[in-house]
Amino acid sequence: PFDVLVVGGGPAGAAAAIYAARKGIRTGVVTERFGGQVLDTMGIENFISVPHTEGPRLVAQLEQHVKDYAVDVMNLQKAVALKPANGDGLATVELESGAALRAKTVILSTGARWRQMGVPGEDEYRNKGVAYCPHCDGPLYKGKRTAVIGGGNSGVEAAIDLAGIVAHVTLIEFDSQLRADAVLQTKLRSLPNVTIITSALTTEVIGDGEKVTGLVYRDRTTDEVRTVELEGIFVQIGLVPNTEWLNGALAMTNRGEIEIDSHLATSLPGVFAAGDVTTVPFKQIVIAMGEGSKAALSAFDYLIRH
């Protein structure tokens, strides 16, 4: 059995594997797609000490760093169930292939995915004007016109954040009113370069073949179809944690995020969780790496006490 089995090979899982392996304990990583969301990222400018890199490049470096250690990397394998330890102190992770892996401690780092609008042009112009992370990509739109899709807390926060950087922000909400906290709405309405459009369904992202040039929405009260000319669209309609496979095996919030304590322990003894899949505030690469490292040190601490 593994001493530490990491499920999910994004930045959190890679960091966890390196920290665990450096303790000289038997470490495995099982992952659907090594690299995680970083693989889908173009420019990365907030990976501290590296002023600029690109997703695939960072993933190659992560992979090399993990391979420098005796880590058993099982790529292209999907976990489908977690069975808590019973008498023998070993938890079981079942894979889609039918295989089962046993481990004294498990680190869950299966990440999350941004909910997409599912409209024409969204896929085509991803990273070419369609963005999901204002902390990451906001500065790329300095002085440009942007829209934020979604009037919940994350959408309104994104709009306030962007308004300080970009020329103009159009916030588009499907419902007849914004759903964000009142204090955020008040702040948003006080900003001179923000337009709020409610009861609007985004129907298309338009571009010139290279990059985004606008978006189309339908006014749900009048059925009129309108076009907004802009350079950037930030989609903020939800970040969905990849926890469906856990089937409620451990405590999660009503949004499906795994609940963790300050040492990244979950509600199951010997099972830790790190990165975007958890309740950790702010989902970023450096944060996921720090969390993965913490989870491995906590798992090691657990092992020496059991």
Tell whether residue 242 is a contact of ligand FAD (CB under 6 A).
yes
Residue nearest to ligand FAD (CB): 111
Please state the closest distance from residue 38 (CB atom) to ligand FAD, in A. 5
Tell whether residue 46 is a contact of ligand FAD (CB under 6 A).
yes
Residue nearer to ligand FAD on the CB measure, 217 or 234: 234
The residues, any chain, with a CB within 8 Å of residue 40's CB and separated by 6 or more, are 55, 126, 127
Please state the closest distance from residue 9 (CB atom) to ligand FAD, in A. 4
Tell whether residue 44 is a contact of ligand FAD (CB under 6 A).
yes
Please state the closest distance from residue 167 (CB atom) to ligand FAD, in A. 22
Q: Which residues of 213-249 are buried (b: 16+ CB within 10 A; e: fewer)?
A: bbbbbbeeeeeeeeebebbbbbbbbebebbbebbeeb
Please select the residue that binds ligand FAD; options are 10, 28, 138, 150, rule is CB under 6 A: 10
State the binding string over 49-88 for ligand FAD (x if CB under 6 A, else -). Answer: -----------------------------xx---------
Please give the residues from 262 up to 301 whose contact with ligand FAD meets the rule CB under 6 A: 275-277, 283-286, 288
The residues, any chain, with a CB within 8 Å of residue 291's CB and separated by 6 or more, are 12, 15, 264, 274, 275, 278, 280
Residue nearer to ligand FAD on the CB measure, 43 or 89: 43
Please state the closest distance from residue 250 (CB atom) to ligand FAD, in A. 14
Please state the closest distance from residue 183 (CB atom) to ligand FAD, in A. 26
Tell whether residue 11 is a contact of ligand FAD (CB under 6 A).
yes
| Three-state secondary structure string covering the chain | CEEEEEECCCHHHHHHHHHHHCCCCCEEEEECCCCHHHHHCCEECCECCECCEEHHHHHHHHHHHHHCCCEEEEECCCEEEEECCCCCCCEEEEECCCCEEEEEEEEECCCEEECCCCCCCCCCCECCCEECCHHHHHHHHCCCEEEEECCCHHHHHHHHHHHCCCCEEEEECCCCCCCCCHHHHHHHHCCCCEEEECCEEEEEEEECCCCEEEEEEEECCCCCEEEEECCEEEECCCEEECCHHHCCCCCECCCCCECCCCCCECCCCCEEECHHHECCCCCCHHHHHHHHHHHHHHHHHHHHHC
Question: How many residues belong to the site for ligand FAD (CB under 6 A)?
Answer: 39
Q: At what angle do helices 182-189 and 153-163 cross, to 10 degrees?
A: 30
Please select the residue that binds ligand FAD; options are 112, 160, 264, 271, rule is CB under 6 A: 112
Please state the closest distance from residue 288 (CB atom) to ligand FAD, in A. 3
Please select the residue that binds ligand FAD; options are 3, 6, 8, 206, rule is CB under 6 A: 8
Please state the closest distance from residue 197 (CB atom) to ligand FAD, in A. 25
Tell whether residue 107 is a contact of ligand FAD (CB under 6 A).
no
Please state the closest distance from residue 146 (CB atom) to ligand FAD, in A. 16
Residue nearer to ligand FAD on the CB measure, 27 or 41: 41
Residue nearer to ligand FAD on the CB measure, 178 or 265: 265
Binding site for ligand FAD (CB under 6 A): 7-13, 30-34, 36-38, 40-41, 44, 46, 78-79, 109-112, 114, 132-133, 136, 242, 245, 275-277, 283-286, 288
